[in-house]
Amino acid sequence: MWNHKDSYRVRNGIVQASTIEHPSLGLVFFPAFDWKISATHPERQERLLYTRDQIVEEGLLDVPNIREYNPIVADWDVIERVHVGAPDLQSWVTDAHRVSAGGAIAAADAVLRGEVDRAFALVRPPGHHAMAMIHGIRGFCTINIEAVMIQHIRQTYGVKRVAIVDTDVHHGDGSQDVFYHDPDTLYISFHQDGRTLYPGTGFMDEFGGPQAIGANIDIPLPPGTGDEGLLKVMRELVLPILHEFKPDIVINSAGQDNHFSDPLANMNVTAKGYAELVDLLQADIAVLEGGYSVQEALPYVNTGIILSMAGLDYSRVIEPNYIEQHQSADVTRYIDDLILKWKAQWARREEIARDELIGHKDSWVRDYSVYYDESGVQEERRETVRLYPDKIGWHSIESYGNYGPYAKQSVYAMFIPWQADDATREEAFTEARRMKEQGGLNRYVVVDPMGQGQVEI
């Protein structure tokens, strides 16, 4: 398992990852033959089939320290400890989604049981745009497979401090939503600037909820960022923050759509650049997210990642259509300035946390909207966070989904933190019952992740 003292060294004031020699690697594949949004949709089974062909051709499954595992079907119980659905989860979640999450769980089990040093779940459908509340499909995602996996490992193995490093080109607004109020889950995303790409979020001021300032790190990068820029952000910003956070386990939300050939984005990263990024990170578990250059990129990026995670030579990984990439001087200057700004903000996180609570006594409230682009649903939310002076409080969501002129769904969901004591848990249930007595919504639900699970009030 990841150990910040053993896994990192400091050179010239910059933290760099060291490499475990020849670590054992578990692989899980699930291409979801029976699930697609539409016949020509970019998120389809070929994303994994070409990769599978490539790694078989390269003989990677015959390497002694690489072992393949089968996915499992994630139980409804563990999904319901993360997500609330409107009108219910069964309206949106298929067996394919459950097996995708189960593939991530199988990868985590292999690592946490000590069977392998690391694991890579090459599964679909992806999940990092799926929020805790679900009114449909957004950003090709329905349930958050990493969040379900993290719930499983906390419940099963007692893991506490978790770091997620999201290397997808799109900001993982779903993962951010699930963990925004959890100071023990560090979410770091570096992605193409949301002013130029879906979902339009992921900026520096999204720094974590009032009880978790500094646990959400969004690094918006300019279009045209290449290997040089991504690797610099990893070395000079991401690794030092991980070193300070001291996670028990590191998870790579491994989107691959920063590749120069990806049709849905505007970045210039190569397969070899991705492999080097993974080598620096030294994650315990990687879970596939996006990446839609099905033939030109994914087979080679995934091959590079597998070689890197297994401690093998990836220096000769190259795409057939490779064109030497040069990051512009303007992009380099922008990234240098962004790193300096982030270092300054990170250093001020305790001061920012104090300022965030000014004017808030017992609760913190915000209103915002969420759009489900694949389902055409507009959701309006009111989020309330219960503030305590000495512990982590619950948060609730009043959710109103507009499915069209004659169809609406509303849900009140109370989310109890996984760290909650009995008093916090009791108060959360009391508040949910009080809200139900007031009425006005279709459903009232409490999510108790380490206790009763999902409870209908």
φ, ψ at 131 (rounded to 5°): -90, 175
Residues in the chain: 457
What are the residue numbers of the active site?
A: 129
- H or E element at residue 164: strand 162-166
Provide DSSP, 194-237: TTSSTT----TT----TT-TTSEEEEEEPTT-BHHHHHHHIIII
Integer Cα distance of 115 and 109 in angstroms: 8
Give the distance between the most distant pair of CA atoms in the chain.
Answer: 65
How many CB atoms sit inside 10 A of residue 100's CB? Answer: 32
Integer Cα distance of 269 and 167 in angstroms: 11
Q: Which two tokens stand for residue 176?
A: 């951010």
- Sequence-distant (≥ 6) Cβ neighbours of residue 76 within 8 angstroms: 89, 98
* Residue 59 Ramachandran class (φ > 0 left, ψ -120 to 50 alpha, else beta): left
Between the CA of residue 137 and those of 171, 176, 310, what are the distances in Å?
16, 17, 34
Integer Cα distance of 7 and 242 in angstroms: 11
Strands 285-288 and 249-254: parallel
**Helix, strand, coil distribution of the chain in percent, nearest 5:** 35, 25, 45
Integer Cα distance of 17 and 6 in angstroms: 9
SS3 category, 411: strand
Integer Cα distance of 397 and 414 in angstroms: 7
Do residues 118 and 124 touch, judged by C-beta distance below 8 A? no
Buried b / exposed e over 293-309, threshold 16 CB at 10 Å, is bbebbbbbbbbbbbbbb
Q: Which two tokens stand for residue 182?
A: 């959890």
Between the CA of residue 231 and those of 119, 341, 406, what are the distances in Å?
22, 17, 50
Integer Cα distance of 177 and 180 in angstroms: 5
